Amino acid sequence: MTDRPLTIVLADDHGVVRAGLRLLLEKVEDFEVLAEAGDVEGALSAAADHKPDVLVLDLNMPGGPGRTSLAILPELHNRTPATRVVILTMQDDAAFARTALGAGARGYVLKESADTELVDAVRAVAAGQVFLNPRLGAQMAGADDIPADHSALSAREWEVLRLIALGHTNSEIAEQLFLSVRTIESHRASIQQKLDLHSRAELVRYALEHGLVGG
């Protein structure tokens, strides 16, 4: 074991959020927050200057044309290859998590769960592991079988369709996905509109025909 602290740069465009996250992280004895940033360019500069073990990076921050949090990850890697990135976001859709990991992030944490997950995420990615919010990880695993030529539906809509086809009620689906029944009803209506289907039976048949559930 080394006595060197695990170093962190914290980037979020809301000062109050940064302050809260810094307080959370600095409660951990072997964590050290080296710097903060409030926009994309500031995050890149701070990470390049300090070369932390981990950059905690808000997914949606101000930046110039084409300069998003995910767009700068290749440049970040070139300037500080050893720095691992944890994305912090309110986007609780597995499609966003998949995109972030594909862009080079190693962790994906929801802001609503930061108080319980961020410390574990920082430690995990610093150790070379990947950290995903458990709910999104389950959704991503469930979405692996989504046919590539049926991209009209979001990852969440595919998961709702899968659960409908397995015979779950809207209430049961809402409970499994930690959503409201009204949200599930909205997803179902969207699925039916996108696929031009008009009943639960047609949804089930579609799911079976496209291999979303076993026949």
pLDDT in tens, 112-144: 888 889 999 999 999 999 898 877 777 666 555
Domain that holds residue 108: 6-134
Residue 215 located in a structural domain: no
- pTM for the complete prediction? 0.66
- CATH number of the domain at 177, please: 1.10.10.10
Q: Look at residue 84 and give its three-state secondary structure.
A: strand
Note whether 130 and 180 are same-domain residues. no
Rg of the chain over Cα atoms, rounded to whole angstroms, equals 20
Contact present, 164 and 207 (Cβ < 8 Å): yes
- Of 75, 103, 134, the one marking the end of a domain is 134
Note whether 185 and 150 are same-domain residues. yes
Residue 140 located in a structural domain: no
Q: How many domains does the structure of the chain reveal? A: 2
**Order of strands across the sheet that contains 131-132:** 31-37, 6-11, 54-58, 84-89, 107-110, 131-132
pLDDT tens column, 85-96: 999 999 887 778
3-state secondary structure 111-155: HHHHHHHHHHHHHHHHCCCCEECHHHHHHHHHHHHCCCCCCCCCH
Token pair 């000062």 is found at: 15
Query: What percent of the chain has a predicted confidence (pLDDT) above 70?
Result: 90
Residue 214 located in a structural domain: no
